[in-house]
Structure 1
Amino acid sequence: MGRVIGPVAQRVWQRRLASTKEPLLATKANPNRLLVTLSCVWPLSWFKLRLDGNSKHRSPWPDDSTMSCFLSLERGKFWFPAQVYNREHGHVGFMLSCYDAELCYDCNTDTFHARYPPHGRRTIVIEEGVQWDRVRTPPVDTLAHELHVSDCLHDLQPGDHVEIQWRRNKEFPYGWWYGNVGHLESCNGNEHYCRCKTSDTLVLEFNQYAHGSRWRRAVINRKDHREEGNETDGFYGGMRKLHDKDEISKWKQLWPPGILE
Structure 2
Amino acid sequence: MLLYLFFSCFSFILFLKSLHLKFRPSRASELTLFSFWTLKDPYIISSSKFASDFDVPRSHLCQIPFKMSIIKASLNPKLENVKETEEEMSVLDLPELALECILERLPPGGLFSMASVCNSLRKRCMSDHLWKRHMDQKWGRVIGQAAYREWKCFIASRRDCGCLRQGKLKGLMKFLRFLPFSWIKSKLDNGEKKRNPHPTDSTMSWYLALETGKFWFPAQVYNRENGHVGFMLSCYDADLSYDARTDTFQARYPPHGRRAAATESGVTWDRLRAPPVNTLPHDLHRSSCLSDLRPGDHIEIQWRRNKGFPYGWWYGVVGHLESCDGSEVYCQCHDSDVVMLLFNHYAVGSRWRQMTIDRRNHREEGNEADGFYGGIRKIDSKEEVSTWKQLWPSEVLE
TM-score between the two structures when normalised by the length of structure 2 = 0.55
> CA shift at 1:27, angstroms?
7.4
- SS of the residue 1:169 aligns to: coil
1:34-62 Cα shifts (integer Å, max 9, x gaps): xxxxxxxxxxxxxxxxxxxxxxxxxxxx8
Residue in structure 1 matched with residue 262 of structure 2 by the alignment: 125
- AA aligned opposite 2:157: S
Looking at structure 2, the residues matched to 171 and 114 of structure 1 have their Cα atoms a distance apart, in angstroms, of: 20
Q: Counterparts in 2 of 1:1-261, with a 5 A limit?
A: 3-20=141-158, 21=161, 64-261=201-398
> CA shift at 1:16, angstroms?
1.1
Looking at structure 2, the residues matched to 24 and 182 of structure 1 have their Cα atoms a distance apart, in angstroms, of: 62
1:91-140 Cα shifts (integer Å, max 9, x gaps): 00000000000000011100000000101232111100000010000000
Residue in structure 2 matched with residue 55 of structure 1 by the alignment: none
> CA shift at 1:198, angstroms?
0.6
Looking at structure 1, the residues matched to 219 and 231 of structure 2 have their Cα atoms a distance apart, in angstroms, of: 17
**What fraction of aligned residue pairs are identical, expressed as a percent?**
66
> CA shift at 1:234, angstroms?
0.7
Q: Is the 8 A contact 1:98 1:177 kept in 2?
A: yes
- AA aligned opposite 2:154: R
- AA aligned opposite 1:196: C
Q: Is the 8 A contact 1:150 1:240 kept in 2?
A: yes
Structure 1 pair 110/211, CA: closer, same or farther in 2 (3 Å)?
same
- SS of the residue 2:340 aligns to: strand
1:215-234 Cα shifts (integer Å, max 9, x gaps): 00011111100101111111
Looking at structure 2, the residues matched to 24 and 219 of structure 1 have their Cα atoms a distance apart, in angstroms, of: 61
Structure 1: unaligned runs, 5 residues or longer: 30-61
- AA aligned opposite 2:143: I
Structure 1 pair 26/209, CA: closer, same or farther in 2 (3 Å)?
farther
Q: Which structure: greater strand fraction?
A: 1
Q: Is the 8 A contact 2:256 2:309 kept in 1?
A: yes
Larger radius of gyration between Structure 1 and Structure 2: 2
Aligned length: 229
Looking at structure 1, the residues matched to 264 and 323 of structure 2 have their Cα atoms a distance apart, in angstroms, of: 44
> CA shift at 1:65, angstroms?
2.2
- AA aligned opposite 2:278: D
Q: Is the 8 A contact 1:25 1:67 kept in 2?
A: no
- AA aligned opposite 2:240: L
Residue in structure 2 matched with residue 50 of structure 1 by the alignment: none
Q: Which has the higher contact order (CA 8 A, sep 6+)?
A: 1
- AA aligned opposite 1:205: L
- AA aligned opposite 1:188: D
> CA shift at 1:155, angstroms?
0.6
Q: Is the 8 A contact 2:200 2:206 kept in 1?
A: no
Looking at structure 1, the residues matched to 356 and 318 of structure 2 have their Cα atoms a distance apart, in angstroms, of: 10
Looking at structure 2, the residues matched to 69 and 205 of structure 1 have their Cα atoms a distance apart, in angstroms, of: 41
Looking at structure 2, the residues matched to 252 and 10 of structure 1 have their Cα atoms a distance apart, in angstroms, of: 29
- AA aligned opposite 1:229: G
Structure 2: unaligned runs, 5 residues or longer: 1-137, 163-191
> Superposition RMSD on alpha carbons, in Å?
2.0
> CA shift at 1:28, angstroms?
8.1
TM-score between the two structures when normalised by the length of structure 1 = 0.83
Q: Is the 8 A contact 2:155 2:201 kept in 1?
A: no
Structure 1 pair 211/116, CA: closer, same or farther in 2 (3 Å)?
same
